[in-house]
Amino acid sequence: MRAAFIRQFGGPEVVQIGQLDRPNPGRGEVLVKVKASALNHLDVWVRKGRPGAEAKGAHILGSDAAGVVEKVGEDVEAFAVGDEVVVNAGVSCMKCAWCRRGDHSECPQFKLLGFQLPGTHAEYLVAPASNLGHKPLHLTWPEAAALPLSHLTAWHMLFPRARFRVGETVLIHGIGGGVALAALQIVKMTGGKAIVTSSSDEKLARAKELGAAHGLNYKTGGDVAAQVKELTGGRGADIAFDTVGAPTFPISFAAVRRGGRIVTCGVTGGREATVNLQLLYWNHISLIGSTMGSHEDFQCLLPAVGMSHLRPVVDKVYKLEQYAEAVRRMESGAQFGKIVLDIDA
Ligand SMILES: [Zn+2]
């Protein structure tokens, strides 16, 4: 089968497109013929050699996929050959105390397709049946591939972690990235109000078309936190939703209300930030980390997407052979939405 893989860590030049053996599903697993696979910043961290990643032999990149069930292993009852599915990349043991209570992404053995396990940028992948969900019918294959990781991450950050409630105001930094856009769509879908930031007026205008209440240009538009306060009647945002890290953390801190929550899942802008602990306790601020989501989040997300007809924003679709071009676009930060590989093309 054709796949995008690495044999060593490094820059974009270490990624090879070539033939690898097709995997076989074991007990409880499913073989999926991949239709489309989306890029994530995780691909870049893995390619560069993030601790925990091993490049033993050929390692297939990619953590997001949608496709058709080609073969089912023993003891798989929930899916049959021909089912159209989306794939949740987070694989957990399903036996430990955390898994039993539904906190799958807190499992000590938690692993991700494309990180510790073979990834999705390939014609076929094997995943546990518990990691599959039925593809929402209204989505195209690229839209379906753009859904799992970004929307699951945003869902888990907003609901179980930041305890988002209907009607609350969420400040979302760096609109244009997959998780930030997913947050905007979910906040809008559930009756919240989103204030988004970007250095691009064009991205802010597109975010408004998607339902953002306000767009703030952090480069040319002045003090973001002060404007958030003004837009919320002097109170501040209920939640600051952060995928950027160091540059946006002080803004989040100044922009949330007393009792506000800052929830973070990414450090594309840098990983070190300082905290004024006095302001943290005095203002009852919660600082919350989050990674991926649970199977329960995934099974709540899919019907919500189906009923609301939410469509993940797809920036551009490339062929598998154009992987280098696709990843360059992602690393440049120019994209608005998810960059997707059409594996069939
Ligand atoms: Zn577990």
Shared domain for 187 and 306, answered yes or no, is no
DSSP letters for 220-277:
TS--HHHHHHHHTTTS-EEEEEESS-TTTHHHHHHHEEEEEEEEE---TT-S-----H
The yes-or-no verdict on residue 252 having pLDDT over 80 is yes
CB-CB neighbours of 200 under 10 Å: 17
Q: How far is the CA of 81 from the centre of ligand 1 (A)?
A: 28
Residues 118-140 have a mean pLDDT of 97
The yes-or-no verdict on residue 54 having pLDDT over 70 is no
Q: How far is the CA of 109 from the centre of ligand 1 (A)?
A: 6
Tell me, yes or no, whether 158 lies in a domain.
Answer: no
Tell me, yes or no, whether 156 lies in a domain.
Answer: no
Q: How far is the CA of 162 from the centre of ligand 1 (A)?
A: 23
The yes-or-no verdict on residue 32 having pLDDT over 90 is yes
Tell me, yes or no, whether 327 lies in a domain.
Answer: yes
Domain of residue 269 covers 163-289
Q: How far is the CA of 290 from the centre of ligand 1 (A)?
A: 17
Shared domain for 283 and 328, answered yes or no, is no
Shared domain for 76 and 167, answered yes or no, is no
Shared domain for 310 and 214, answered yes or no, is no
Mean residue pLDDT across the chain: 95
Q: Beta 84-87 vs 64-72: how paired, if at all?
A: antiparallel
- CATH (domain of 254): 3.40.50.720
Tell me, yes or no, whether 157 lies in a domain.
Answer: no
Report which of 170, 154, 175, 181 is spatially closest to residue 252, judged by C-alpha positions. Answer: 170
Residues 43-72 have a mean pLDDT of 88
Shared domain for 138 and 167, answered yes or no, is no
Residues 229-239 have a mean pLDDT of 98
Shared domain for 213 and 273, answered yes or no, is yes
Q: How far is the CA of 177 from the centre of ligand 1 (A)?
A: 30
Shared domain for 132 and 9, answered yes or no, is yes
Any idea which of 48-62, 83-97, 214-228, 251-265 has the lowest mean pLDDT?
48-62
Q: How far is the CA of 293 from the centre of ligand 1 (A)?
A: 13
Tell me, yes or no, whether 257 lies in a domain.
Answer: yes
- CATH (domain of 39): 3.90.180.10
Q: What is the pLDDT of residues 305-338, one digit of tens each?
A: 999 999 999 999 999 999 999 999 998 988 999 9
Please report the pLDDT score of residue 53 as a whole number. 62
Number of domains in the chain: 2
Do residues 260 and 239 touch, judged by C-beta distance below 8 A?
yes
Q: How far is the CA of 42 from the centre of ligand 1 (A)?
A: 22
Give the tokens for residue 258.
Answer: 């007393």
Shared domain for 266 and 304, answered yes or no, is no
The yes-or-no verdict on residue 6 having pLDDT over 90 is yes
Tell me, yes or no, whether 143 lies in a domain.
Answer: yes
Do residues 43 and 32 touch, judged by C-beta distance below 8 A?
no
Exposure string of 107-123, with b = 16+ CB inside 10 Å and e = fewer, is beebebbbbebbbbbbb
What share of the chain has pLDDT > 70, as a percent? 99
Q: What is the pLDDT of residues 62-95, one digit of tens each?
A: 999 999 999 999 999 999 999 999 999 999 999 9
- Boundary-marking domain end, from 273, 289, 305: 289
Report which of 83, 62, 58 is spatially closest to residue 5, judged by C-alpha positions. Answer: 58
Q: How far is the CA of 155 from the centre of ligand 1 (A)?
A: 20
Q: How far is the CA of 249 from the centre of ligand 1 (A)?
A: 31
Residues 28-42 have a mean pLDDT of 97
Tell me, yes or no, whether 325 lies in a domain.
Answer: yes
Please report the pLDDT score of residue 267 as a whole number. 87
Q: How far is the CA of 63 from the centre of ligand 1 (A)?
A: 19
Q: How far is the CA of 112 from the centre of ligand 1 (A)?
A: 13
Please report the pLDDT score of residue 268 as a whole number. 84
Q: How far is the CA of 334 from the centre of ligand 1 (A)?
A: 37
Interatomic CA distance for residues 181 and 179, integer angstroms: 5
Shared domain for 10 and 145, answered yes or no, is yes
Shared domain for 22 and 126, answered yes or no, is yes
Report which of 197, 192, 155 is spatially closest to residue 177, judged by C-alpha positions. Answer: 197
Shared domain for 173 and 145, answered yes or no, is no
Give the torsion sign (CA, 117, 119, 124, 127): positive
